[in-house]
Amino acid sequence: MTRLQWACALAGLVVTLAAAGVLALSAFSSPAPATLHITSETVRRSTQGWVVDVVVSNRGDLTAAAVDIEGQVGDQRASTSLDYVPGRGETRASLVFSGEERPEPTLRVLGWSEP
């Protein structure tokens, strides 16, 4: 065998062992459940009042589906549902509040389901 053939064989062995290691690791570890956090990104004026753009991030490995979120300013509440928030990912949404003053809403995730 030539040196080039040895180098190719060695590279193939390394790739094969790495793939086997990744598969073994994922087979013997359990994924972390969805862990959702919501933060306010921007607050902007609109014709309907104020729009609060929020980011819902998932720090877990599993996807969260049918995610319900809510914002509250005084007695006023705004809510929406997100189709899903991927594992180790994030999704953006907007909540609309009426009123003259710029809102500082209390944000919370109401719940979700596993797909």
Residues 50 and 101 in one domain: yes
Residues 9 and 45 in one domain: no
With a cut of 70, which residues of the chain have pLDDT below it? none
Stated pTM of the model: 0.79
Residues 93 and 44 in one domain: yes
User: Which amino acid belongs to residue 10?
Assistant: L
Residues 26 and 41 in one domain: no
pLDDT single digits (tens) 71-86: 999 999 999 999 999 9
Tokens of 54: 């929020």
What integer pLDDT is reported at residue 34 of this predicted model?
A: 97
What integer pLDDT is reported at residue 27 of this predicted model?
A: 87
Residues 52 and 26 in one domain: no
Least Cα distance to 54 among 68, 71, 67, 66 occurs for 71
pLDDT single digits (tens) 56-70: 999 999 999 999 999
Least Cα distance to 104 among 38, 45, 40 occurs for 40
Task: Residue 14: give the domain boundaries.
Answer: 1-30
What integer pLDDT is reported at residue 20 of this predicted model?
A: 95
Q: How many domains does the chain have?
A: 2
Tokens of 40: 């306010």
